[in-house]
Amino acid sequence: MNDESTKIVAIDGPAASGKSTVARQVAQELGIVFVSSGEMYRAFTWWVLENDVDPTDKNSVLELLKSTKFICGKSENKSTITIDGKLLTRAEMASEPVNQNVSVIAAIPEVRARLVAEQRAYAEKSGVVMEGRDIGSVVFPDTPLKFYIDASPEVRQQRRAAEGIEDSIANRDKIDSNRKASPLVIPEDAVVVDSSYMTAEEVVGEVLREIRART
């Protein structure tokens, strides 16, 4: 398991817990691909809105899903998503309309099945550090490298505000944790890190120490 090319590091946690920053840095340290699975759900949500489909109208969302071609690639060791020929930008994926609707779209089992297949395909080609809500519990349940990055609701709200981003995180957390399909849970064998009073570097250090101890 010392071969980086086969490492699968699963990092889950609630919105704005810092997991994305940590996952990106851990991937960089290990020299493997950083995959944000949330961006995949965001990209498809953007596409739903772009096509004037009502996110609560499941049949229409599924109709669109059927005809949508995703290309999940990578650029400089970070995942990218192209939908029907359009490479999505971070700004599009992090827009407020997307923030408000992504949890509804991500609760649809058929959407999850399609994107989970894309997520697993990444790991067939190289080692990955993948962050999301169900990476340790559903996408890669067999990896011994599972982390759950948490932070208090107050700290998470402050972090988003400091980034100047309006984000309905309390509402998203509620939907993400209570949905039937792959809700946000802490995998039994995950290392839990409460990042509320830690710097990103401290969290990265702890995750890397644990990875080295386990491999």
Pick the binder of ligand DC from 18, 55, 127, 132 (CB under 6 A).
132
Contact status, residue 136 vs residue 29, Cβ threshold 8 Å: no
How far is Cα 46 from Cα 215, in angstroms, rounded to an integer?
Answer: 38
Cα 73–chain centre separation: 15
Near ligand DC in 6-65, by CB under 6 A: 15, 37-38, 41-42
Q: Does 79 bind ligand DC (CB under 6 A)?
A: no
Q: Which stretch binds ligand DC (CB under 6 A): 77-85, 98-106, 143-151, 201-209?
A: 98-106
Quote the least distance from Cβ 45 to ligand DC, whole Å. Answer: 8
Q: Does 101 bind ligand DC (CB under 6 A)?
A: no
Nearer to ligand DC, 18 or 127 (CB): 18
Quote the least distance from Cβ 31 to ligand DC, whole Å. Answer: 23
Q: Does 133 bind ligand DC (CB under 6 A)?
A: yes
Quote the least distance from Cβ 102 to ligand DC, whole Å. Answer: 4
Q: How many residues sit close enough to ligand DC to count as binding (CB under 6 A)? A: 14
Contact status, residue 181 vs residue 58, Cβ threshold 8 Å: no
Nearer to ligand DC, 133 or 146 (CB): 133
Q: Buried b vs exposed e over 57-85: b needs ≥16 C-beta within 10 Å?
A: ebeebeebbeeeebebeeeebebbbebee
Provide the 10 A C-beta neighbour count for residue 168: 17
Contact status, residue 103 vs residue 175, Cβ threshold 8 Å: yes
Contact status, residue 105 vs residue 61, Cβ threshold 8 Å: yes
Quote the least distance from Cβ 20 to ligand DC, whole Å. Answer: 6
Footprint on this chain of ligand DC (rule: CB under 6 A): 15, 37-38, 41-42, 102-103, 106, 132-135, 172, 176
